[in-house]
A and B are shown apart, each in its own frame.
Chain A
Amino acid sequence: MLGATGWFLDNAWLIPIIPGVAFALIILIGKRLPMQGSELGVASMAASLVLSVGAAYQWIQRVDDAGGHSEAGTLGLIAGFGRSLTAAQEEGAAYVQPVIRSWTWWESGGASFGYGQHIDGLAVMMLFLVAFISLLVQIYSLEYVRGDRRYTHFFAAITLFSAGMLVMVLGENMIQVILGWEIMGLCSFLLIGHWWEDEANSTAALKAFLTVRVGDIGLLVGTSVLFFGANDWTQENLGTSGFTIQGLSAWALSGEASETVLLWGAVALFIACIGKSGQFPLHTWLPDAMAGPTPVSSLLHSSTMVVAGVFLVARLYPVFWEAFSIPDVSVNFIVVIAGITIVISALLAFVQDDIKKVLAYSTVSQLGYMMLGLGAGAWLPAVFHIFTHAFFKCCLFLCAGSVSHSGSHHSFDMKRDMGGLAKKMPITAGAWIVATLALAGVFPLSGFFSKDEIIDNVGHNGYEVFMYIALFGAFLTAGYMTRATYLTFFGEPRGAAAHASALEAAGAASGRAGASPQNDASGHVPSPGGAADPALEEGRASAGQVGVSPLEDRAVGGLSSEEDDPADPALHGELATAGLAHADHGDAEHHGPHESPKLILIPVCILAFFALTAGFTNAVAFGEDWEQFKEYVEPIAEASDLEAAGAAPRASDLEAAGAASVRSGSSILNDASSHSVSSPAPVQEEGGEEEHASGCGYTAPEEGGICFFPAVSHAEFEWSKAALSLIVVGIGLVGSWFVCVALYSKRSRSLVGLTQRLAPARWGYNFLWNKYYLDHLYEQRIIRSIAHPIARGANWVNQNVIDGVVNGLGIGGRKTGGWVYRNIDQRVVDGAVNASGAAAGGTGHALQPVQSGKVNQYGALLFGAAAVFAIVLVIVNV
């Protein structure tokens, strides 16, 4: 029954420990090391990656062994595609036990809180993904943040960040998941606010932290609710607490769970996921999180942090499956939120000028896809989308960083400082285009295989409405990514990107230097009736006049030297002067667009390669032999024998073994006492044959059986359905390309200024520009209406109640002190001391005459006393 385990699987808990220790070392001794601590971070991630690959390899072996066919090991999840598999899926395939080890951390009130590892296909996949992406991002950071003022702290925080995600991925129970979750929250705060000297950055960090915290309440509530609902059942049947992932999964599918408890627990947990994964009402922190350094954005948005919410849903999938009745309905909480998220964030991506914000909204939208897949029962495609999305989104962010690092003088503004960079940065542009096509879901690239599967399965599982929403989202995705690609890499160079050509034409430069900064200062005010597309106007202005002077050019470049919010005009004014001030920034040729150094290009190219090929690990389109993910990542939804499920994986655990023995004892007692009463306690079927209740997740498992995963259904791949989505994507790509060419290069009269002339277009534009007024709603309405009365009330309480109490206490204390001083101290204590002194003095004076100093008198006293004692002795004795 149990497959092979191995050293890597048994010791997978080391994977997060290594970066955790590296974090401590970097903090302690990092500054004294030759590379200022960065080597520790990179080395720890490399070590984690090695362990993860080892664990993945052994997991594949374990599944193969359990599946009954002993094919030689594969080359790991990635390289394993293309291998022909014997179809051992249907008969003899049983649920493969995850490798669980746990240690008790602390116990309280009968509940023990453990930490440990829960290694199954999902965990192995995520471990590999997190370690791999983190390693590449750290290598990239070596170049990108070189010379930063907090270089060591950057690496410390980013290492701890990865460690937090790894802790959560490994988590054996909810407490550990919360631990990793909160570590990530803290590190995201530190990293987004890495350049906290700019107030915009520290505000963004605070916003990210607090917004996620709003959701985190849900995590705590949901964990508690599920614990109190499940603990009795899990203690009785599995001998584990109600915090364990396995216990919760089995409980949810056992058919004995209370519907209400499940529903509220799942809703609370999903609220946490909304906060963490940037789903609809709480997505506003994600674009602001772009204030951090680009590698941070990349890590945050690809494999860690935002994926944590999706991962949590995937991890506790049976809970959500049962709570929202996923197989039976055609609309539920998760898919509604996800559907809204997909569309609104994709629309928002159209009006962003900041390349990173386009990508941020794209991430939000893609997370919506993952949630949609999970919500609609398409577990495997959603998890697969986590996998593929990490590669191409990380690649896109690193490309954006590469562009700003080497091409646009640290600006991220596509309309002002980019354009035409494909010629200057061919490798970056190539990687970007590959990743863009992958994101859009073009056929042979990775995004197609995951996204199309989500769309397909969503429709297959009865959520047709959301399938069309997802298709519309795919169309939008293709559109906004084409727009970003065009603005960045094609068309006329503008701003900093045009610097080199500006230098060439510097001799012919005319006196336009004064005009443009004014244009900038008034440029980005999004007034409802004013200039509709000011950035566009400005872009046309500078693009039309290639001969801008170098001075003005640097000013524009320096204007966005930090990643600021381009929508904030006041900040822009400040930075414009600052940009002018450091016009002697460096050599002119250093600022011209050029290809990035190798340390940046190598991770980008590796990621682009994976963006190209990762889809083949689960290429449903080519038949079952290609479905590696289905075989190795998705748990097999077969009911296991209760004893094997409960006791065997925890045999190494001492107290679990004790609990198991207690359990068998009680069942013996049951058997002995009554045969007629059907006891609710589980009946131990010694050597009974396995009950293959194929209805896991649909019907309660039979007596003695236990389910850990619902039987998710898979849609048959059909080229006709895939063709539909490919056509939609194709229309999006081509249509957007022509609109971009017409709008940004040819300046078609009918399109330029459309948002200014046409009232509905203007309203729509302003609506999008202001991000649906959600920030306005949160900051002006909710926070003002809730926080301000609270603040006023708190101030009143502070002034009147607390200060009154404090003052009263002070006055009372002073008066008591005075009374004590006068009466106790002065009279009693001092009186006693003085009296004893006086008594001693008086006695001394009284006895003074005796000490005459005359020997005779002493002798007389001596003998007199001796005589008196002698007489007394005589009298007494006689």
Chain B
Amino acid sequence: MFAVNFFLLAAVLFCIGVYGVIARRNAVLVLMSVELILNSVNLNLLGFSLINGNIDGHVFALYIIAVAAAEVGVGLAMVMLVYRNRRSIALDDLSEMKG
């Protein structure tokens, strides 16, 4: 069943995304990794939609794409502000929340 391929791809993308979120220090790269995770979820939805034979998954995927666009907009704006204030977007330096 070729739908399994969707899930394998999605899993690979998810793991890459998680790695990027944890390992990268550049805020833009972290955002991109988050996008990878989101899209892996989209792939999952499409895969299950194929298996079940209805279009609910497609609808959700489209919806998530729209929301993700907004989320990336907000995230990039924050990164821009951080850069303007600190001249750096290295996440290691952003540790004011340290307990």
Contacts and interface: CB of A to CB of B under 8 A. Distances in A.
B26 to A, nearest CB: 11
B22 A853 contact: no
Contacts of A853: 94-99
A841 interface: no
Interface in A846-871: 847-848, 850-856, 859-860, 863
A852 B18 contact: no
Using C-beta atoms within 8 Å of the partner chain, give the interface range for chain B. Answer: 10 to 19
A669 to B, nearest CB: 90
A851 B97 contact: yes
Contacts of A850: 99
Interface string B82-97: 0000000001101111
Interface string A813-854: 000000000000000000000000000000000011011111
Contacts of A847: 99
Nearest to B97: A853
Interface in B4-52: 18, 21-25, 30
A61 to B, nearest CB: 103
A854 B91 contact: yes
A230 to B, nearest CB: 90
Nearest to B34: A859
A851 B98 CA distance: 5
Nearest to B33: A859
A312 to B, nearest CB: 92
A848 B99 CA distance: 6
Nearest to B93: A854
Contact of A854 (B23, B24, B95): B95
Contacts of B97: 851, 853
B99 A863 contact: no
Interface string B61-99: 000000000000000000000000000000110111111
A860 B18 CA distance: 8
Nearest to B21: A859
Tell me whether chain A's interface is mostly helix, strand or loop, or mixed: helix
A845 to B, nearest CB: 10
A850 B96 CA distance: 14
Contacts of B30: 855-856
Contacts of A856: 21-25, 30, 91-92
A859 B22 CA distance: 6
A860 B91 CA distance: 14
A855 B99 contact: no
Contacts of B18: 859, 863
Contact of B21 (A848, A852, A863): A863
Contacts of B25: 856
In this complex, which of B22, B94, B96, B97 has the most chain A Cβ atoms within 10 angstroms of its Cβ?
A: B22
Nearest to A849: B99
A853 B21 CA distance: 15
A852 B18 CA distance: 19
Nearest to B95: A853
Contacts of A851: 97-99
A855 B91 contact: yes
Contacts of A863: 18, 21-22
Nearest to B99: A851
Interface of A: 847-848, 850-856, 859-860, 863
26 contacts: A847-B99, A850-B99, A851-B97, A851-B98, A851-B99, A852-B95, A852-B99, A853-B95, A853-B96, A853-B97, A853-B98, A854-B91, A854-B92, A854-B94, A854-B95, A854-B98, A855-B30, A855-B91, A855-B94, A856-B21, A856-B23, A856-B24, A856-B92, A859-B22, A860-B22, A863-B22
7 closest residue pairs by CB, A with B = A851-B99, A853-B98, A853-B95, A853-B97, A860-B22, A859-B21, A848-B99
Given A851-B97, A853-B95, A859-B21, 4 more contacts: A851-B98, A855-B30, A855-B91, A856-B22
